[in-house]
Amino acid sequence: MDIKKIAILGSGSMGTAILSGLLKAGFDAANVAVSTKSVTSADKLVQLYGVTAYPTEVNPEANANAVIGADVVLVAVKPLYVPEVLRAVSHNLADGALVISVAAGVTTATMEECVPASVSVIRSMPNTPAIVGRAVTGVAAGSRASAEQLTRAVSMFETVGRVVVLPEAQIDELGTVSGSGPAYVFFLIEKLTQAAVEMGFDEATAQLLVQETFLGASELLAASGKPPAELRRQVTSPNGTTERAIAQLETGHLEELFARATKAALARSKELAAGK
């Protein structure tokens, strides 16, 4: 990666996942600065990763201090706070720096308004499997970002998974699929586990049955190269038990339900962009 120093503003699950991915890829911890809320969190980051950490609870300039000398600044705070944080650090951003946000709904135009004209921005949407190196991240360049800077951002996110480069107009839509998607999967696992318990399995056995089934099915899908519909048909014998179960699921009009769910997520993303 063509990055000399990176600042990560925010040490939640996403910021920490990307930090871990960078270090596993061989990036030097001495060239990473992280801002975080508490002294306890800062001490933990130093001990676990060997990075420089600035706690905001004792230093109002923690974010601004973290970005000094950084050629890449990853903004991993909640969407509501992105403009505020960018304005607070703008005076310390280096000429030619690249700012990358992982916040839903915050447009590149909004970010560009908050930083000097010499600073470029990129918007990204990773998902939580970044924690285990299996993220899908969408990235979209702002109006000032160069091809080289976009390549730099892609290289950074490839340390935690796969990357898709998109026009910004599609980033919100991507967020409704891969961004929110892990929650959909966890929801299905939760409900199937409950059904298993109701059938008489103890909680531990139910969890084992369901979680290993989802994991195995996902690995089979990845290894087979076949579309999921074909794999489903292979499991669904005519007049068998699975066919009867699928028929019940189809009565719930799942296709329409997922369409409504993704539309609802997209509407919320638009609200976030509007500051609601």
* pLDDT, tens only, 231-273: 999 999 999 999 999 999 899 898 999 999 999 988 888 787 7
Domain boundary among 106, 136, 168: 168
Q: With beta carbons less than 8 A apart as the criterion, state whether 102 and 74 touch.
A: yes
Calculate the average pLDDT of the chain: 94
Does residue 173 belong to any structural domain of this protein? no
Residue 276 has pLDDT above 80, yes or no: no
Q: Are residues 185 and 228 in the same domain?
A: yes
Burial of 94 by CB count in 10 Å (0-12 exposed, 13-18 middle, 19+ buried)?
Answer: middle
Which of 75-84, 131-140, 150-159, 267-276 has the lowest average pLDDT? 267-276
Long-range contacts of 178-182 (CB under 8 A, 24+ apart): 178/125, 178/127, 178/136, 178/138, 179/104, 179/125, 179/126, 179/127, 180/262, 180/265, 181/127, 182/127, 182/128, 182/129
CATH of the domain at 95: 3.40.50.720
- Identify the domain containing residue 213 by its residue range: 181-272
Q: Are residues 241 and 160 in the same domain?
A: no
